[in-house]
Amino acid sequence: MKKGLVLFLAMAMVFSFSTAALATNGYQLIGVGQLQKSMGGAVTAAPRDAMTAITNPAGMSRIGSRTDFSMEAFMPTRSVDFGALGGGKTEGGSDMYGIPAIGWTAPTTREDVYFGGGMYGTSGLGVDYDEINFTGFGDKFNGYSAIQFWKMAPTVAWNVDDKLSLGFALNLDYQSVAISQVFNGPSFGPAGLNVPGEIVKFDLGRPTAQFGYGFTIGVLYDINEMITIGGMYSSKQSFSEAEFRVADGDIRNFNGAMGYAGTYKLDLEYPPQLGLGVAIKAMDNLLVAVDFKQIYWSETHDKVKLSGPAGAFWDGSAFVSETELNFGWEDQTVYALGIVYSASEDLDISVGYNQGEAPIDEADVFNNLVFPAIVETHYTLGADYKLGSNWGVGLTYMKAKSEELTGKGDIPLPMTGTFGPDSNTTIALEEDSYGMQLSYRF
């Protein structure tokens, strides 16, 4: 009874924190929980805790009966700089956010079949910029974004034999979205003509919540006592459309928007991904893990459909009820390396490296001023210490190297008459995080 109450309270705490400012591989965390993060996310073939329900559900059958609770202080620094246009620079919003996750696993009535799951903050992105000049003529810009993504993952895993393990997780998802961008100054009219003094406004600033679903499958196979290989596939996470109640003029002169009030719907889903890994027990006290991951952002974040009332948009030849937001995100390849050194029976020291080319480039800057998901290189350091026979505590630090991206050829065609083809606007992102994880082994 007490264990159930503790688990319930911990899960309630998970939902009480915001994850709107995250961004690492795109806006997906490099690892869920501190043991995963300490290895740079190289855990497809090296499960260590119950967070493996997200990254490779087959691992739930190899970690024993346990519960893990992780809390992380995530500290991003992001900015937008309009200096090349004669404007200003601003850094966006709060500089500390909490990221929780909780997971558990235990055997069923069969010793070779395990069941578990949890609730995990896995992804997020957000900025909250001050209003600043974006040209030298007093033209104003302000922007805000907040995307949160959670997963519940009831999981079943099966040790088929001494070498092969299989796993399946049902993904039950939660997503919240809010986006707002306002340019007050030189702009363009509904027909794509430059109209000085107009406001370009795209305000979906009232967060909405959607529930979605998908699945993750995983496999682990021991080639021998030293080498384990693993694989996982997570399907596209499908959501209902996000509905926004928009006031008169809140979506205006953006993609030919006419400024009509009404209900607007955003069709934003979450991409499928594939992961392959190998773990090598180089010595009794040394584990080396390498991962290759592919995140298919282009399937969900290249062009995103936005629909509104009848005739809400002018497409250059007719009034239509929907348009496409050209985010321009491309598929992302991620490489990760993790090393775990067992300094004693109770203490493990971990280091990790994670590298993934940003899903946007210089041609996408202007369309992603409030989505600066551009960090690529991550370094991690962690320690995991056993407190007696049941409890354990892990500590991790992550550093994502500062990255900048300046817009070239990124101005939408209707606005090139005012700005030219290049915004020369610079977005930047840098990240630090500190985390702690508590584990209980039954």
Percent of the chain with pLDDT over 70: 90
Residue 23, pLDDT score = 64
Query: What is the greatest pairwise CA distance in the chain?
Result: 72
DSSP 396-420: EEEEEEEEEEE-SS-S-GGGHHHH-
Q: Which of 270, 272, 268 is nearest to 294 (CA)?
A: 272
d(CA 200, CA 367): 13
Tokens standing for 316? 């250059």
Q: Beta 140-152 vs 199-222: how paired, if at all?
A: unpaired
Find the angle CA(84)-CA(85)-CA(88) to the nearest 5 degrees: 85
d(CA 77, CA 280): 36
Give the pLDDT of the chain (442 residues) as one tens digit per residue: 344 433 433 444 444 444 455 668 999 999 999 999 999 999 999 999 999 999 999 999 999 999 999 999 999 999 999 998 889 999 877 778 888 999 999 999 899 999 999 999 888 888 999 999 988 878 889 999 989 899 999 999 999 999 999 999 999 999 999 999 998 875 444 444 444 456 888 999 788 889 999 999 999 999 999 999 999 999 999 999 999 999 999 998 888 899 999 999 999 999 999 999 999 999 999 999 999 999 999 999 999 999 999 999 988 899 999 999 999 999 999 999 999 999 999 999 999 999 999 999 999 999 999 999 999 999 999 999 999 999 999 999 999 999 999 999 998 776 676 677 899 999 999 999 999 999 999 9
d(CA 270, CA 239): 8
3 state SS of 364: helix
**Domains of the chain, earliest start first:** 2-441 (2.40.160.60)
pLDDT tens digits, one per residue of 61-90: 999 999 999 999 999 999 999 998 889 999
Residue 94, pLDDT score = 73
Q: Count CB neighbours of 346 within 10 A.
A: 12
d(CA 94, CA 78): 10
d(CA 370, CA 35): 30
Write the CB contacts of 317 (distance below 8 Å, at least 6 apart in sequence): none
Residue 186, pLDDT score = 56
Tokens standing for 397? 């630090």
Residue 194, pLDDT score = 45
Starting at the edge strand found earlier in the chain, the sheet holding 262-267 runs 242-246, 262-267, 303-307, 322-326
C-alpha 62: how far from chain center = 27
pTM above 0.85, yes or no: yes
Distances from the Cα of 94 to the Cα of 14, 132, 380, angstroms? 20, 17, 23
Q: What is the dihedral of CA 121, 43, 60, 433, to 10 degrees?
A: -30
Looking from the CA of 179 toward its CB, the CA atoms found within 13 Å total 22
DSSP 10-73: HHHHHTTS--TT--SBTTB-SSSSHHHHHTTT--SS---STTHHHH-GGGGGSS-SEEEEEEEE
